[in-house]
Amino acid sequence: MRCYLLALSVLMASLATAQEAVDWSSLVEKVMPAVVTIVSADAKDIVQGSGFIISSDGKIVTNFHVVAGKPAILARRSDGSFLVIKGILASDKANDLAILQAEGRNLPFVQLGDSDAVKVGEAICVIGSPMLLEGTVSAGIISAVRELQDGRKLLQITAPISKGSSGSPVFNRKGEVIGVASFTLSEGQNLNFAVPSNAVKALLRRLGITLSPLPPSPTLSFEERFERAYQEAIQVAQKIEDASVRSEALRFIAEATAEAGQTERANQVFQLALQAAQKIEDAGYRSRVLKEIVEAMVKAGQFDLALQIAQKIEDAEARSWALSGIAEAMAKAGQKERANQVFQLALQVAQKIEDAQVRSLALRGITEATAKAGQKERANQVFQLALQAAQRIEYAWNRSLALKEIAEAMAKAGQFDLALQVAQKIEDASRRSEVLEEITEAMAEAGQFDLALQAAREIEDAWDRSQVLAVIAAEMVEAGQFDLALQIAQKIENAWVHSLALGEIAVAMAKAGQFDRALQVAQKIEAAWSRSWALKEIAKAMAEAGQFDRAIEVAEMIDDHVARLQALAAIMAAKQKAGKGEAGKE
């Protein structure tokens, strides 16, 4: 007896060792997209189980008891998407099997293996959704193959099966499904059973369905994969009937090939995109599409080709914008002489635009491009032309809109004085306020705090003025000018914004190690939520600086319960981190 027990223990140890040695990670990654969670429902209850896709057209295997009598069935995939189940194709109540038909094409699927070839002790893994825990993987072995009185078979497995696992695929090391997890005996310990995969095959044969084997997965190089993707994309794009959509698709393909360094091919595809664009009947729309192609060519560094196409654009505004974009790119690429020529060409085109508003917009675009290219003197000249065009716009609302856009463009280009002058000419008060906000924020970001404050005083709306002052204070804090930031914060009229600004200043001070000043500022914050937030951040900064006792004192000052808890948690984490650091030194 002792010899028998010793032999048995050696066998079980060897099986356990074999089981531990199996790394299922690669297989799981490969098959997981084909494993689904099944949810079925009727008027009384909802049942949840598992299943797996066995064909690219959406045939799914699960347990009969998961879907029996349920009119509504859904399958949830591992990526979170759902497959609608059109119906139950076949069922086998005796073997607890059902084959569902889902809506879908080109779906990932798994292969059915030969369950008659399984061996006792063979390693297996099960993937399912026990207790709503989707994508759960459990490993084990085939512990026995049980033959029932009616001739049916069951696979006894050691991989656990819980509620929700019903219908889960049982995989062998090859990634083949050799069983369908079905039930567990609650009276025993780890006694789990699966229906053999050959029973699924028999059910499929009854339907007259023969599943094709999985195609071999070739090992392709990255270049081969790119080439295959390119061929597929170009074939699909050229079949698109709508000329504008086809042109856009071809443009994207050209951009991708250019990015991959395939310049000659990119040019060929750009030509195809152009041919498609030329077939667009609406002239205005055609011009916009051609402009987008030119922009893509510029991005790909194809300046000469871009110039050729840009000059053929019928719409003057679109042509101006396209030419200015090319010039800007040329200037950035060091081709300043050519850029000057193209800017001049863009300017000539823009000045021929009859509609004052459109001409103003085109000139504004050229101005931005010249400013970005570092040609400030030319940018100022074009700004003046844009301004003249805007002031000739007949309708006041359109005139205000054009001036607003010009002023904002000037602010972005750093031309703050000019931007302010333009802003004062805007008749619509709300638009003037919006522009002043934009200009002020641009000034603050550029560190021009005095100018920003002057501009802020011109903002009529108190709420807008408060917000702008808060932005200026925040920029000052970023620059380490805490005293000035505090002075600005005191000028903020809106109480809510004032509290927010003081909180940000206090936190910035704490992060800079100025804990006493940070606490003084925090105590002046009127809004409780902002004060709690600031004190929490100050406590955290103190803890990170190693001042744990003081940090705890600050945390206890916090009114908000959640913020106080967060502060104490941060202190605890900092202490643990410091403790590990000390241990490491020892």
Q: Partners of 98 in the beta sheet?
A: 62, 91
Per the CB < 8 A criterion, the answer to whether 60 and 103 are in contact is no
Q: What are the φ/ψ torsions at residue 129 (nearest 5 degrees)?
A: -130, 65
Contacts of residue 81, defined as CB under 8 A and 6 or more positions apart, other chains included, come to none
**For residue 30, which of 105, 139, 110 has the smallest C-alpha distance?**
110
Active-site residue (options: 40, 50, 55, 96): 96
Q: Render the burial of 312-332: b for 16+ CB within 10 Å, e for the rest.
A: ebebbbbbbbbbbbbbbbbbe
**For residue 171, which of 276, 49, 25 has the smallest C-alpha distance?**
25
Q: What are the φ/ψ torsions at residue 531 (nearest 5 degrees)?
A: -65, -45
DSSP helix/strand/coil, 400: helix
Contacts of residue 359, defined as CB under 8 A and 6 or more positions apart, other chains included, come to 317, 350, 351, 353, 389
Active-site residue (options: 55, 129, 143, 166): 166
| Residue 59 φ/ψ region, left for φ over 0, alpha for ψ in the -120 to 50 degree band, beta for the rest | beta
DSSP helix/strand/coil, 109: coil
Helix H or strand E segment including 95: none
| Residue 164 φ/ψ region, left for φ over 0, alpha for ψ in the -120 to 50 degree band, beta for the rest | left
Kindly list the distances between the CA atom of residue 263 and the CA atoms of 10, 231, 310, 335, in Å, as whole numbers in the listed order.
66, 16, 19, 20
Helix H or strand E segment including 207: helix 197-207
Helix H or strand E segment including 173: none
In the structure encoding, which two tokens stand for residue 70, read together?
A: 């349920």
Active-site residue (options: 65, 78, 428, 461): 65
166 is catalytic: yes
DSSP helix/strand/coil, 77: strand
d(CA 286, CA 292): 10
65 is catalytic: yes
d(CA 564, CA 562): 5
Kindly list the distances between the CA atom of residue 517 and the CA atoms of 13, 176, 538, in Å, as whole numbers in the listed order.
67, 68, 11
| Residue 177 φ/ψ region, left for φ over 0, alpha for ψ in the -120 to 50 degree band, beta for the rest | beta
d(CA 160, CA 146): 18
Q: Vertex 150, ends 146 and 155: CA angle to 5°?
A: 20
Length reported for the chain: 586
Catalytic site positions: 65, 96, 166
